[in-house]
């Protein structure tokens, strides 16, 4: 991107009608439709056009092929199990590296973190330099947020955010009234919220209309005591705080299992999970094979791309039985748009 291009880009983002205003200030500008696909092989462009043509809610435009890009190579392989798929991908990646293809030129896209971890493990078993870039949705959902807050509070009872969340979650008003009375006491007495709640629970402190807080606090304390008993064994600890049977926290549990190998204590585990959840976007310079979700790949480009777990019901995801027809069709069109972008990576 040249200096003039950068100026136009900045102007577009500074003003709602950036290009129109730019033309007023800089005569001689013209619009150019970006319909030629200069980076993709012709087969990929044909596939992308055929896919997006299935969407009715779109302006009818196609990307133009550039013949000098060549036809490229597309391989569609059906394997008998997810484990076989992971092994197949690892073998193919090894073959590419043996041809002196740099690891950074290889991207593996798979929508679900669990499948991504399986592929990552297969790569690591073969000593392939690789890195996972899943950080979008581990804390989606109330159950995951509550479990993570419990983890933080276990390690630091003075964590005001975790305590406030756990005390309020599940109540329509987040127990705002009772908690404001607790906070007023803390500001006057100097007690931390945890200390004040311990006093309330033990009967050495009395405040009006905070019974719901006391009950919630006592339930939280029981959970924390149970977790404290298994802290010495990280495997048991993960099973306790992120139980496998709770499908709503599946991604959070998988994250813990991904990073636990290099951790010795719950504190190290929490830090490793925090590092993964808050990691920055994929850096422009990488040295490894990248494993990531389809969403994460937007804006990237690579000569070697694997798209794994292309199974009906997973990609695209099947709608719930009670989903309205219009909503289901809209979701399917959005899934096509996502895959269209993926094809052009």
Peptide bond into 267 cis (omega under 30): no
- For residue 133, what are the CA distances in angstroms to 112, 136, 262, 273, 327? 12, 9, 18, 13, 29
Q: Are residues 158 and 228 in the same domain?
A: yes
Closest-CA residue to 122 (of 92, 97, 89): 89
Same domain, 100 and 224: no
Q: Is residue 316 a part of any domain in this protein?
A: no
Tens of pLDDT, residues 14-59: 444 555 555 555 666 666 667 888 889 999 999 999 999 998 877 7
Is 172 in the same domain as 146?
yes
Check whether residue 154 and residue 261 sit in a common domain.
Answer: yes
Distance from C-alpha of 291 to C-alpha of 297, rounded to nearest angstrom: 10
247 lies in some domain: yes
Q: In what order do the strands lie in the sheet with 304-307?
A: 130-133, 289-292, 106-109, 304-307
| CATH number assigned to the domain comprising residue 260 | 1.10.486.10
Q: How many domains does the chain have?
A: 3
Flag whether 46 is in a domain: no
Domain extent for 120: 75-135+281-311
- Beta strand spans in 188-314 (E): 289-292, 304-307
Q: How far apart, in whole angstroms, are the C-alpha atoms of residue 303 and residue 318?
A: 30
Whether residue 216 sits in one domain with residue 254: yes
Give tens-digit pLDDT for 50-83: 999 998 877 778 899 999 999 999 999 999 999 9
Contact of 36 with 66, CB cutoff 8 Å? yes
Domain check: are 167 and 144 in the same one?
yes
Q: What percent of the chain has pLDDT above 70?
A: 87
pLDDT at 13: 45
Of 278, 303, 330, the last residue of a domain is 278
- Please tell me whether residues 142 and 237 are part of one structural domain: yes
Give the whole-angstrom CA distance, residue 174 versus residue 177. 9
Residue 68 in domain: no
Q: What integer pLDDT is reported at residue 141 of this predicted model?
A: 77
Does 124 map to a domain? yes
* Cα–chain center distance at 316: 17
Band of pLDDT at residue 303, cut at 50, 70 and 90: very high
SS (H, E, C) 119-179: HHHHHHHCCCCEEEECCCCCCCCHHHHHHHHHHHHHHCCCCHHHHHHHHHCCCCCCCHHHH
Is residue 26 domain-shared with residue 157, that is, in the same domain?
no
Tokens 């791309």 belong to 305
Alpha carbons 256 and 262: distance in angstroms, whole number: 11
Asked whether residue 274 falls in the same domain as residue 143, the answer is yes
Q: How far is CA 235 from CA 32, 230, 256, 275, in A?
A: 58, 9, 10, 20
What are the pLDDT digits (tens) for 246-272?
878 887 888 899 889 889 999 999 999
- pLDDT interval class at 279 (50, 70, 90): low
The pLDDT score that the predictor gives to residue 10 is: 43
Q: List, for residues 120-170, the tens digit of each pLDDT value.
A: 989 989 999 998 887 555 676 788 899 999 999 999 999 989 999 999 998
Q: What is the distance between the alpha carbons of residues 120 and 109, in angstroms, rounded to a whole number?
A: 11
CATH number for position 83? 3.40.50.300
Does any domain span residue 334? no
Q: Are residues 272 and 230 in the same domain?
A: yes
Residues 260, 131 share a domain: no
- The token pair at 99 is 């041809």
| Same-domain pairing of 129 and 151 | no
Specify if 167 maps to a domain: yes
Judge whether 319 lies within some domain. no
């Amino acid at each position: 991107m040249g200096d003039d291009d950068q100026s136009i880009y900045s102007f577009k983002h500074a003003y709602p009608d950036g290009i129109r205003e730019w033309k007023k200030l800089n005569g001689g500008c013209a619009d150019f439709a970006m319909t030629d696909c200069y980076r993709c092989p012709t087969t990929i462009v044909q596939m992308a056009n055929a896919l997006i043509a299935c969407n009715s809610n779109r302006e009818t435009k196609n990307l133009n092929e550039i013949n000098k890009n060549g036809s490229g190579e597309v391989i569609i392989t059906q394997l008998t199990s997810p484990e076989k798929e992971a092994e197949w991908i690892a073998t193919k990646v090894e073959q590419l590296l043996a041809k002196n293809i740099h690891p950074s030129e290889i991207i593996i896209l798979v929508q679900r973190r669990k499948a991504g971890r399986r592929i990552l493990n297969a790569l690591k078993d073969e000593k392939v330099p690789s890195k996972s870039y899943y950080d979008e949705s581990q804390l989606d959902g109330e159950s995951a947020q509550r479990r993570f807050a419990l983890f933080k509070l276990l390690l630091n009872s003075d964590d005001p955010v975790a305590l406030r969340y756990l005390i309020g979650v599940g109540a329509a008003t987040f127990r705002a009234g009772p908690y404001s009375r607790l906070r007023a006491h803390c500001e006057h007495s100097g007690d931390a919220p945890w200390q004040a709640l311990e006093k309330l629970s033990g009967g050495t402190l009395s405040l009006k209309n905070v019974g719901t807080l006391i009950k919630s606090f006592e339930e939280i304390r029981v959970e924390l005591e149970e977790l404290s008993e298994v802290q010495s064994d990280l495997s048991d600890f993960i099973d306790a705080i992120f139980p496998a049977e709770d499908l709503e926290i599946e991604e959070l549990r998988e994250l813990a299992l991904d990073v636990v190998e290099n951790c010795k204590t719950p504190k190290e585990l929490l830090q490793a999970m925090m590092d993964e959840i808050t990691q920055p976007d994929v850096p422009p310079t990488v040295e490894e094979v990248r494993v990531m979700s389809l969403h994460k790949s937007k804006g990237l480009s690579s000569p070697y791309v694997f798209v794994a777990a292309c199974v009906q019901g997973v990609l695209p995801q099947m709608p719930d039985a009670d989903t309205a027809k219009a909503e289901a069709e809209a979701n399917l069109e959005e899934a096509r748009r996502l895959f269209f972008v993926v094809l052009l990576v």
